[in-house]
Structure formats: C-alpha cells, structure tokens
Amino acid sequence: MFNVILFGPPGSGKGTQSEKLIAKYGLKHLSTGDLLRSEISGQTALGLEAKKFMDKGQLVPDEVVIGMISSAIDHNDKITGFLFDGFPRTAAQAEALDKLLDLKNASIAIMLALDVSEEELVKRLMKRGETSGRSDDTNESVIRARIDEYHAKTTSVADYYHQFDKVKMIKGEGSIDDIFLALCQEIDTRL
C-alpha cells in the first residue's frame, strides 16, 4: 500500500487537491471532516457529539476520530493505498495511525503539507462559506478558532513525521494545477 497524508490548515486546498490526487493515483480518500459531516447528516450519536466541537471550531476528541479511521481502514482491504485528508490532526492521532497501518504491514510514505498565509485562508473560507453549506465556514470567529486550533495542536503532527523525514512543504498559493503538479512531483519521487 502507498499511503499519503495531505496536510495543511483549513482552507489550504486539501479537498480540491485530494480529488485530483485520488483520480491520478487511484488512492482511497479518507477525510475525517467528510466522515464526521456524514455522521451529522445521519444524526447518529457520534455525529451529534462531534457537532458540538465542530460548531465551535474545536477538534473532535481523538478517540472518536481514531475509531472512525480504524473502521474505515478495516473496511478497505485490497486497495492501492489511502489518501488521508484532515487526519491526523494531533500527535496522538499520528501515533495511532502508524499502529493501525502497522497491523496491515503498511506505513505512511509521505506527508505533503500545504502552506498558505492566514489572511488568504480566512478569505478563502469566507468565500467557500457562501456556497459550501458548512456553518463552520460562515462565521469569521469560528474560522479563526479553527486556524488557532491548527497552530495549537495540529502543527505538532508535522514534527512527528519530520523525525522520519517524511514531510514535504508545498506552497499552497497559486494556480490549482501548479500546486497539483508540485504535489505529484513529490509523490513520484517516493512511488
């Protein structure tokens, strides 16, 4: 299995680039944000619990997202690999992911980290909020809380993968195609 993490703050383009990457490399897309939103629309107990955190721009507890990812990995045998999007977001999630993949004799090949300035992120998320139907995209203070949460908790995930020399920073501003090309070049060196 060839497993990739697409990393970056909210609004850095992970969703857009994920779609292009899974089409090109045949990877299975696992987005914890998407999985949580589908739990919310299904009004499951997990979704209702997660919504309380998401509405405030806070991270959902580790055990909830790790449980979701664990079952998604188990339900996707015999695949080329996973593209993790929005996961892991804490060092505890990163360690748990390594253990889950280890059970499948697999590992993370590379973490691609999209780098975008804070003002550009806020601008993009407010714009996305006009059409995405996501309540956490329409309120500037929730958007800033999500970016703060990223800096407070999520950047430690890059430190975790740095120790294994698996992190590649990619400039996440510019045309979608140029960013995609830069991501592909990094993936191709590890394939």
CA-nearest of 115, 107, 158, 74 to 4 is 107
**12 is a contact residue toward ligand AMP (CB under 6 A):** no
- State the amino acid at position 169 in one-letter form: M
Indicate the pairing of strand 167-171 with strand 108-115. parallel
Take residue 99 and report the two structure tokens written for it: 């253990």
SS3 16: helix
**18 is a contact residue toward ligand AMP (CB under 6 A):** no
Q: Which residue is nearest to ligand AMP (CB)?
A: 33
**114 is a contact residue toward ligand AMP (CB under 6 A):** no
Is there a catalytic annotation at residue 37? no
Annotated catalytic residue within 14, 37, 51, 124: 14
CA distances to 12, 30, 32, 42, 115 from 171, in Å: 10, 22, 23, 36, 5
* 88 CB-near residues (< 8 Å, 6+ apart): 5, 94, 96, 97, 157
**81 is a contact residue toward ligand AMP (CB under 6 A):** no
> Of 52-60, 96-104, 163-171, 177-185, which segment contacts ligand AMP by CB under 6 A?
52-60
> Of 87-95, 100-108, 160-168, 169-177, which segment contacts ligand AMP by CB under 6 A?
87-95
Is there a catalytic annotation at residue 190? no
Q: Which of 4, 5, 30, 65 touches ligand AMP by CB under 6 A?
A: 65
CB of residue 191 to ligand AMP, shortest distance in Å: 26
Is there a catalytic annotation at residue 124? no
**82 is a contact residue toward ligand AMP (CB under 6 A):** no
**59 is a contact residue toward ligand AMP (CB under 6 A):** yes
Q: Angle formed by the axes of helices 62-74 and 91-102, to 10°? A: 20
CA distances to 55, 57, 103, 121, 169 from 180, in Å: 30, 27, 31, 18, 13
Q: Binding residues for ligand AMP, per CB under 6 A?
A: 10, 32-33, 36, 53-54, 57-60, 65, 86-87, 89, 93, 136, 146
Which residues are known to be catalytic?
Answer: 14, 89, 128, 134, 146
